[in-house]
């Protein structure tokens, strides 16, 4: 195996070659760029590409500002402000941030507040002296007045309790009367419903009996007509050449019809029609 990659095997061949051509830069037009994008669409890997995170370095002056100290006193600071300088300008000259200056302003304001000499619980409190006679008289009168009011309130409370008990008794009586009226109404309503049902049954029975009576009357009329026909036929003279057996049959038929008519008349008389 040759080791040609460690050096140029034939340098003369390299020298005979042409030098590299100059680098030319070109910029695509929007139309050419759109054509290339349509010809070579973006892949999933291209779409998932994320822009690298830009790391911002802190300026060199910030570390120096953090290490610097604010050395102005309140009087010097007020003089600087009176000369027309802003807080930002003073912070820049002192090499500190504006927050540091505001912190010192708060400390100066706290220092200017007067301190409380002594807490309230630490103060000497002298014991109260004896009450005067005038105050004692006022207190006794007030006690008497309050006692009288308490007595009146107790009496009023007792009266209200009596009224309350009386109203409770009256309410119980009203409740009992209401329950009694309710029971009477329910029983009366039930009785009216039962009477209505019985009346409906009686009306149905009457209608049925009326229909039955009408049918019996029709049957009676039919039998009466039949009896009249039979009587007319019986009393009508028979021809000479009539057979004796036919008369017997006619008499039997007439007797049966008369018996049936009498039975129907008896039924009608018994039913009250």
Mean pLDDT by 10 residues, the chain (273 residues): 55 71 81 85 74 59 55 86 86 87 87 61 56 80 90 91 90 89 87 87 85 81 77 59 59 77 75 57
Whole-angstrom CA distances from 11 to 19, 20, 66, 214 are 14, 17, 62, 151
CA atoms of 184 and 190, how far apart (whole Å):
10
CA atoms of 16 and 5, how far apart (whole Å):
20
* Cα-Cα end-to-end distance for the chain: 150
Contact 95, 62 (CB under 8 A): no
How many angstroms from the chain centroid is the CA of residue 122?
A: 60
The confidence score (pLDDT) of residue 35 equals 87
The answer to whether the pTM exceeds 0.75 is no
CA atoms of 205 and 198, how far apart (whole Å):
10
The confidence score (pLDDT) of residue 150 equals 92
The confidence score (pLDDT) of residue 201 equals 87
The domain limits of the chain are 61-110, 138-271
The confidence score (pLDDT) of residue 153 equals 92
The confidence score (pLDDT) of residue 257 equals 77
Radius of gyration of the chain from its Cα atoms, rounded to whole angstroms: 69
Whole-angstrom CA distances from 77 to 97, 108, 109, 220, 226 are 15, 11, 13, 144, 151
The confidence score (pLDDT) of residue 125 equals 52
């Amino acid at each position: 195996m040759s080791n040609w990659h460690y050096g140029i095997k034939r340098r003369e061949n390299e020298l005979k070659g042409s030098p590299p051509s100059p680098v030319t830069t070109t910029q695509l037009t929007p139309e050419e760029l759109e054509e290339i994008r349509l010809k070579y669409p973006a892949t999933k890997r291209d779409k998932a590409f994320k822009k690298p995170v830009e790391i911002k370095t802190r300026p060199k002056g910030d570390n120096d500002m953090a290490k610097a100290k604010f050395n102005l006193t309140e009087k010097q600071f007020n003089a600087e402000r009176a000369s027309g300088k802003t807080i930002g300008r003073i912070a820049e000259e002192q090499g500190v941030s504006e927050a540091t200056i505001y912190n010192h302003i708060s400390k100066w304001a706290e220092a200017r507040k007067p301190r409380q000499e002594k807490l309230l619980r630490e103060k000497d409190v002298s014991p109260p002296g004896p009450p005067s006679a005038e105050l004692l008289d006022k207190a006794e009168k007030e006690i008497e007045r309050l006692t009288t009011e308490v007595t009146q309130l107790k009496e009023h409370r007792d009266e209200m309790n009596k009224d309350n008990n009386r109203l409770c008794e009256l309410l119980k009586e009203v409740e009992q009367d209401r329950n009694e009226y309710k029971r009477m109404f329910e029983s009366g309503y039930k009785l009216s419903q039962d009477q209505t049902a019985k009346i409906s049954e009686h009306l149905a029975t009457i209608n049925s009996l009326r229909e039955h009576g009408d049918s019996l009357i029709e049957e009676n009329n039919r039998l009466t007509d039949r009896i009249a026909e039979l009587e007319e036929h019986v009393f009508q003279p028979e021809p000479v050449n009539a057979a004796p057996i036919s008369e017997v049959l006619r008499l039997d038929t007439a007797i049966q019809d008369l018996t049936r008519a009498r039975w129907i008349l008896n039924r009608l008389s018994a039913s009250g029609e």
